[in-house]
Amino acid sequence: MKTIQLNKWLLWLLLFTILSACSLPVEQEPGLTLALSKERKSENKYSDWLAHQNIEFEFIDLSLLPLSEALKALEKADGLLLTGGNDIYPGWYGKEYDTARCGVFDHGRDTLELMALGKALEMKMPVLGICRGLQLINVQQGGTLYIDLPTDKGTGDIHRADQEGWTEHSVWLQFYDNFPETYSNQLTAVASNHHQGIELLAPSLKAVAKSQDDDLIEAITLADSNTEQFLLAVQWHPEWMDYEDGFSGEIAKKFLLEAEVYKQEREQKLIPR
C-alpha cells in the first residue's frame, strides 16, 4: 500500500513538473545588436535617437574595448554606426604636414574605426556614418578632407559657430539613394557642427546631398548601384534634430531596417556569430 501511494506521489510530481515547464514564457526572439564606434555620455545619445524608432536592439560601444576585443565583438553585430567626434589624423589621407589647423587627435580611435569599417564592409554589414563618420568613410576609401573649412573654403560659419557652436543650414538632397523618395530635390534644414569636410570624394563613393550655400558634400553612399551593401553617411547630426524630422527619423529607421534584413539573412544562411 505504501509503495502504491509513493508511486502516485511521484506521478503527481512528474505531472506538475511537466505542466510547470509548459507554462513557462516562450523565449522571445532576440533583438538587433548594433556596434557604435563611440557613444556619448550624456545628452543627445545616438542610442536614444535610434531607440525612438521602437525597434528593439542592444548596442556595443566599441570605444570601451581593446582593439582585438572590439573587432571580435563587431562580428556579433547587425550594423555599424560610426559616430561624430575628434578630427581624423591628416596622415591617413596624405596631409600629415598640416596638423596645426586641426583639433585634438585620437589615434587609437582612428585605428579602431578604420579597421572596424573595413571589417564591416568585408562582412557586407549595414554601415551608417554621422559627421566624423562620413569623413572617416571617405578617408578609408581613399578620399581626402578639407583640413579647415573657414580657411580652405571661407564658409566655416555655415557649418559651425565659433569653435564648438551649433548651426542650422540647408542641404539639397540630389539623389534619394537610401532616403525616402519624397525628400529628393528639395532643401531641408539640418543641425551642423564641424570644421572639416570632404575635399576629394573617393571613387567608390557617390555624393547624394550637398550644402546649398557652399556645395560641400553632405551625404554619401556607395557608387556601385548594384551592390547589396548598405552604406549611408551624412555630414550633419540627425541625433540633434527633431526625431520626427524626415532627415532625422527616416535615417535611423532605414539603418535599423537594413540591420534587421542583415540579421535575418545571416540566420537563414546559418552564418556563425
Tell me: the pLDDT tens digits for 78-110? 999 999 999 999 999 999 999 999 999 999 999
* pLDDT 10s digits, 64-83: 999 999 999 999 999 999 99
Distances, alpha carbon 169 to alpha carbons 45, 105, 138, 172, in Å: 22, 27, 22, 10
C-alpha cell at 144: 581626402
Chain mean pLDDT for the chain? 88
Q: In whole angstroms, what is the distance from residue 211 CA to residue 128 CA? A: 19
Confidence of residue 8 (pLDDT cuts 50, 70, 90): low
pLDDT the model gives residue 21: 47
C-alpha cell at 234: 551624412
Predicted TM-score (pTM) of this structure? 0.87
Reply yes or no on whether 169 is catalytic: no
Among 113, 239, 258, 260, the one annotated catalytic: 239
Q: In whole angstroms, what is the distance from residue 173 CA to residue 211 CA? A: 9
Distances, alpha carbon 1 to alpha carbons 6, 10, 186, in Å: 9, 14, 88
Reply yes or no on whether 131 is catalytic: yes
Amino acid occupying residue 257: L
Q: In whole angstroms, what is the distance from residue 257 CA to residue 142 CA? A: 28
Reply yes or no on whether 237 is catalytic: yes
Among 169, 194, 195, 237, the one annotated catalytic: 237
Among 131, 199, 218, 260, the one annotated catalytic: 131
* pLDDT 10s digits, 15-61: 555 444 444 444 445 699 999 999 999 889 999 999 999 999 999 99
* pLDDT 10s digits, 113-164: 999 999 999 999 999 999 999 999 999 999 999 999 999 999 999 999 987 7
